[in-house]
Structure 1
Amino acid sequence: MNDIAVLGLGHMGAAIAGRLAAAGYRVTAWNRSPRPPIPGVRHVDDLGSVDAGVVITMLTDGDAVEAVLAKLAPRAGTVVVDMSTIGPDAVRRIAAGLPAGVALVDAPVGGSTGAAAAGALRIFAGGADADVARVELVLAALGTVRRCGALGTGAAVKLVLNAALVTAVAGLADALTVAAAVGLDREAAVAVLRDGPLGFATERTLAPGAPAAHFRVALAAKDADLAIAAAGPDLPMLAAARTMMARAVPDDDLSALVRRP
């Protein structure tokens, strides 16, 4: 399957399309609004002109994925790989609405644009073994593939990871507030926290270049809402993180929660 379509050219979709083109695949890309050209990628404005054996979606939410695939009407034999973060319920709903003979693999990712460009993403794949096998070589060009189980399990893993990330970032913000209150130099606090239980959140948000990670507050809040909808309201840490995100600028990177003056 050398012909691949990438639908959705936000930060991650564009990086994925560019990486696949650099790996030698014939890549067609579509986005709802105009985007800068990507070297080696054919851009189209009309979903009707997309014809590829593998269709990758990297879109905002389940409704967007469902609407775009309805307009695309992929042909029998196509494998749709959804790399968005939409939750397992949406994955199964989308699969039920696909035309006969079209397979779905949910394969959300861990890592951001730099990892995508370098082929170093962590990819959490859910779906029938035969369907995952058909696209595994393509996904391997983007990073390390972890088979998670049946359809929807990749999306479930990503929801758990993002719930952990946003609560950790909120905890990091509180820890830095405590550091300031007790007179600890911010750089000294960050150095200690980097080697402690919040090490990943510290590295993700406060390492040099971290603001370029491109995980918008609005998307992190959407993922928190998905987790709360799945697990119920008894999630005090996640609810607190969600409140903190509601006070932030939606288009800022998640690191803005801890980048206080």
Structure 2
Amino acid sequence: MEKIAFLGLGRMGLPMARRLAAAGHPLTVWNRSPGRADGLAEAATAAEAVRGADVVVTMLSDPAAVAEVAGAIAARLAPGTLWIDMSSIGPAATAGLRERLPDGVGLVDAPVLGSVGPAATGDLVVYAGGEDADLDRARPVLEHLGRVRRCGGPGSGAALKVVVIGAIVASVAVVGEVLAVAEELGLSQELAREALTAGPLAGVVARAHSADSDFPVRLAAKDLALAGGGPVLSAAREVLLADPSIAERDLSAVVGSLRRR
């Protein structure tokens, strides 16, 4: 099995790395803050982690973090190495990353949809974009982590993630606001939720009240920023940023925040 370097052991990265190790891949991990490896073989630096790796997987927080790691490791990647970036950084940053890679190094953009629970059980949705040969090679690795949706050429996985997460995050903010309106109009929350759940917003209502998801509001706001400056998504982002007290809480916290305003 191919030797993997996994960089980024945050909320999502650590359970994903554990799954790859459990599948039998020789695995070396690295995290900016050391001591999170939880028994996995940990390198002291990102450059050390990728030494001799066939596949590099990154699961980092934002475009700046990916760019920083690229600066540390890109020149050290040998021809034939495949980089699978599973961070949510958008298509523009993905294109910039591709430009920094040495000749002969492949790149698959493969951001995921799902939270910590699905990351641990291998039930993520993986949006994969890249050259056909790179996608074929990445698939056996990605299938340990979730259901792979092959999106097309380079950047298409990153682009689809922006589209889907933008719709989800903005819709959760809308549900939070209309529930606040219901309260102002004297309706019970139970009645309003029941009516919304009976219609096409059922899935969004469930996500807005999820008790087992872990998608911090600050990262949701970051993902909306990646979608650009459209009026609806920009307004939803302002809603998320208006209450700094919920920045590290799950997206569902925006519902209670809106009711308090």
TM-score (norm 2): 0.91
Query: SS at 1:258's partner residue?
Result: helix
Hey, what does 2:190 align to over in structure 1?
A: 187
Deviation at 1:123, TM superposition (A): 0.6
Misfit runs of 4+, over 3 Å: none
Deviation at 1:111, TM superposition (A): 0.8
> 2:243 aligned with 1:248, yes or no?
yes
Hey, what does 1:34 align to over in structure 2?
A: 34
Where do 1:50-199 residues align within 5 Å? 50=49, 51=51, 52-72=53-73, 73-199=76-202
Q: Is the 8 A contact 1:82 1:105 kept in 2?
A: yes
* Distance (Å, rounded) in 2 between the aligned partners of 1:23 and 1:189: 45
Please provide the CA RMSD for this pair: 1.6
Deviation at 1:252, TM superposition (A): 2.1
Q: Is the 8 A contact 2:129 2:153 kept in 1?
A: yes
* Distance (Å, rounded) in 1 between the aligned partners of 2:70 and 2:63: 11
Q: How many residues were matched structurally? A: 252
The superposition leaves residues 181-229 of structure 1 with CA deviations (integer Å, 9 ceiling, x where unpaired) of: 222222332233233232222222313x23xx2211111111111112x
The superposition leaves residues 120-150 of structure 1 with CA deviations (integer Å, 9 ceiling, x where unpaired) of: 1111100000001111001001111111011
Deviation at 1:37, TM superposition (A): 3.3
Give me the identity figure in percent: 46
Hey, what does 1:237 align to over in structure 2?
A: 232
The superposition leaves residues 24-54 of structure 1 with CA deviations (integer Å, 9 ceiling, x where unpaired) of: 2222111111243334x21222223223211
> 2:215 aligned with 1:215, yes or no?
yes
* Distance (Å, rounded) in 1 between the aligned partners of 2:207 and 2:130: 29
> What is the identity, as a one-letter code, of the residue corresponding to 1:10?
G
Query: SS at 1:190's partner residue?
Result: helix
Hey, what does 2:47 align to over in structure 1?
A: 48
Bigger mean CA offset, 167-176 vs 41-50: 41-50
* Distance (Å, rounded) in 2 between the aligned partners of 1:259 and 1:92: 38
> What is the identity, as a one-letter code, of the residue corresponding to 1:114?
G
TM-score (norm 1): 0.91
* Distance (Å, rounded) in 2 between the aligned partners of 1:169 and 1:35: 35
Bigger mean CA offset, 155-164 vs 69-78: 69-78
In structure 2, the gaps of 5 or more residues are none
In structure 1, the gaps of 5 or more residues are none
Q: Is the 8 A contact 1:217 1:248 kept in 2?
A: no
Bigger mean CA offset, 19-28 vs 101-110: 19-28
Q: How has the CA–CA distance of structure 1 residues 203 and 35 changed in structure 2, closer, same or farther, with 3 Å as cutoff?
A: farther
* Distance (Å, rounded) in 1 between the aligned partners of 2:200 and 2:256: 19
Hey, what does 2:7 align to over in structure 1?
A: 7
* Distance (Å, rounded) in 2 between the aligned partners of 1:7 and 1:241: 31
> What is the identity, as a one-letter code, of the residue corresponding to 2:203?
F
> What is the identity, as a one-letter code, of the residue corresponding to 1:201?
V
Query: SS at 2:80's partner residue?
Result: coil
* Distance (Å, rounded) in 2 between the aligned partners of 1:57 and 1:37: 15
